[in-house]
């Protein structure tokens, strides 16, 4: 009998841009599969669940994509090559700093009869310059690949393709699964083709989304360092849910967080122990982001993992 996830792939077509993205992923992974290089796959933002094939309405979730976008910048700083697999129009590394009108407010415009000159306001140069420098370094070095999903089905197809391309890297591949993936969906074969009419209250039946961590860890990238996230709103169950997930899927690390405090505190749950990673009030006021200590802890554990694999291969 086919597993739930196999059935999901059998009944949901790949997105239209799938083959293009698969080629980009393959090229990126082959190019960076060299001694001394590592690749992290960061998933970011929330998946949608369409209610119609010609989608007018869909179920969404809260995720802005801040965790994934910020984490990607810190991974780049630590020398990683980054596959940034994110929800279309969610926050992205670098541009996340200039959301809304912020960029416009940093620019000046001088006009005369002959031409228009745009400059960065002197007091914004110190803000813009380091971000622009890091952005250019990542782009020019070909060290970041952006691929997008919208629906939970797009996410499924992209994640499997990314894993297939990362598998040859073995322990040098790190999966950092921060996307908020829908737990429920309307199966393709139960979805109406056209916009649901409002003449009567629709009866929508949802099914459980298969858990992809199982094939990710046991089949697709069995030698990679896999980190998943667990989000809860009740502090009392966070640790046990994170520990259950680690016991069930047998990956390397679960990072637990509470919706309201996710920018200040997370809990690292490993097979051996658990510990908090948090920011002090002063650090927060000073503009430090929680993703900075999260990434240095993750990178430290990934390095130890690679060294362990290297020693046991000797
Ligand atoms: O995207 P964001 O910065 O607003 O939120 C990040 C997060 C809470 C989605 C992430 O840290 C997380 O917990 N992702 C996994 C969610 C889950 O499926 O449990």
Q: What is the pLDDT of residues 95-139, one digit of tens each?
A: 999 988 999 999 999 998 889 999 999 999 999 999 999 999 999
Q: For residue 152, how many other CB atoms are within 10 A of its CB?
A: 24
Instruction: For the chain, state the CA radius of gyration.
Output: 21
Query: Ligand 1 pocket test: which of 176, 178, 256 has the largest number of ligand atoms within 8 Å of its C-beta?
Result: 178
Q: Ligand 1 atom closest to Cα of 179?
A: 14
Q: Is 8 in the pocket of ligand 1 (CB under 6 A)?
A: no
Q: Which of 44, 64, 67 to mutate to test the pocket of ligand 1 (most atoms within 8 A of CB)?
A: 67
Task: Calculate the alpha carbon distances from 113 to 110, 116, 117, 118, 196 in Å.
Answer: 10, 8, 11, 15, 55
Q: Please spell the DSSP secondary structure of 284-304, one letter per residue.
A: HHTT--THHHHHHHHHHHHHH
Please, what is the end-to-end C-alpha distance for the chain in angstroms?
40
Q: 43 alpha carbon to ligand 1 midpoint, in Å?
A: 10
For the chain, what is the mean pLDDT? 96
Residue 182 confidence (pLDDT): 97
ipTM score over 0.95, yes or no? yes
pLDDT value of residue 309: 87
Q: Which domains does the chain have, with CATH numbers?
A: 4-313 (3.40.50.10300)
**Cα 231 to averaged position of ligand 1 atoms, centre (Å):** 6
User: Assign residue 186 a region: left if phi > 0, alpha if psi is -120 to 50, beta otherwise?
Assistant: beta
For ligand 1, whether the C-beta of 182 sits within 6 Å is no
Whether 87 is in the pocket of ligand 1, judged by its Cβ within 6 Å, is: no
From 1, 2, 7, select the one nearest 156 (Cα to Cα): 7
Proportion of the chain above pLDDT 70, given as a percent? 99
Atom in ligand 1 nearest the alpha carbon of residue 178: 14
Cα–ligand 1 centroid distance for 139 (angstroms): 26
In 99-221, which ranges are continuous DSSP H helix? 102-105, 122-140, 152-166, 213-215
Q: Could you tell me the pLDDT band of residue 165, with boundaries at 50, 70 and 90?
A: very high
Number of neighbours of residue 139 by Cβ within 10 angstroms: 11
Determine the distance separating the centroid of ligand 1 and the alpha carbon of 261, expressed in angstroms: 11
Measuring from atom 1 of ligand 1, which residue has the nearest CA? 65
- CB proximity list for 227: less than 8 A, separation 6 or greater: 174, 175, 176, 177, 251, 252, 253, 254, 255, 298
Q: Tens digit of pLDDT for each residue in 235-281?
A: 999 999 999 999 999 999 999 999 999 999 999 999 999 999 999 99
> Rounded to the nearest whole angstrom, what is the distance from the C-alpha of residue 122 to the centroid of ligand 1?
36
- What is the rounded CA–CA span in Å between residue 242 and residue 270? 9
Mind listing the pLDDT tens digit for each residue in 1-57? 667 999 999 999 999 999 999 999 999 999 999 999 999 999 999 999 999 999 999
Angle (CA) 39-5-157 rounded to 5° is 45
- Our mutation pick for probing the ligand 1 site, out of 180, 259, 295, counting the most ligand atoms within 8 A of Cβ, is 180
181 lines ligand 1 (CB under 6 A): yes
CB-CB contact of 125 with 132 (8 Å): no
Q: Is the CB of 262 under 6 A from ligand 1?
A: yes
Q: Is 76 helix (H, G, I), strand (E, B) or coil?
A: helix
């Amino acid at each position: 009998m086919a597993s739930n996830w196999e059935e999901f792939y059998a009944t949901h077509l790949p997105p239209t841009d799938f083959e293009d993205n698969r080629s980009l992923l393959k090229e990126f992974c082959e190019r960076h599969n060299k001694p001394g290089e590592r690749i992290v796959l960061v998933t970011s933002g929330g998946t949608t669940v369409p209610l119609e094939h010609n989608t007018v309405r869909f179920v969404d979730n809260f995720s802005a994509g801040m965790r994934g976008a910020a984490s990607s910048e810190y991974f780049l700083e630590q020398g990683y090559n980054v596959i940034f697999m994110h929800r279309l129009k969610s926050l992205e590394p670098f541009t996340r700093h200039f959301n809304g009108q912020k960029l416009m407010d940093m620019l000046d415009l001088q006009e005369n009869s002959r031409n228009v000159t745009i400059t960065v306001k002197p007091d914004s140069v110190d803000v813009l310059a380091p971000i622009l420098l890091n952005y250019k370094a990542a782009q020019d070095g070909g060290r970041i690949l952006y691929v997008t999903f919208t629906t939970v089905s797009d996410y499924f197809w992209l994640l499997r393709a990314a894993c297939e391309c990362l598998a040859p890297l073995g322990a040098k591949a790190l999966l950092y699964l921060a996307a908020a993936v829908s737990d429920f969906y309307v199966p393709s074969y139960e979805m109406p083709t056209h916009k649901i009419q409002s003449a009567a209250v629709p009866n929508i039946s949802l099914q459980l989304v298969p858990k992809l961590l199982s094939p990710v860890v046991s089949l697709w990238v069995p030698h990679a360092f896999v980190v998943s996230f667990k989000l809860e709103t009740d502090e009392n169950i966070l640790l046990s849910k994170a520990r259950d997930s680690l016991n069930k899927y047998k990956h390397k690390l679960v990072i637990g967080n509470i919706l309201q405090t996710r920018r200040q505190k997370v809990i690292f749950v490993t097979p051996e122990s658990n510990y908090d990673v948090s920011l002090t009030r002063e650090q927060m006021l000073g503009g430090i982001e929680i993703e900075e200590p999260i990434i240095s802890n993750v990178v430290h554990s990934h390095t130890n993992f690679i060294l362990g694999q290297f020693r046991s291969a000797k």
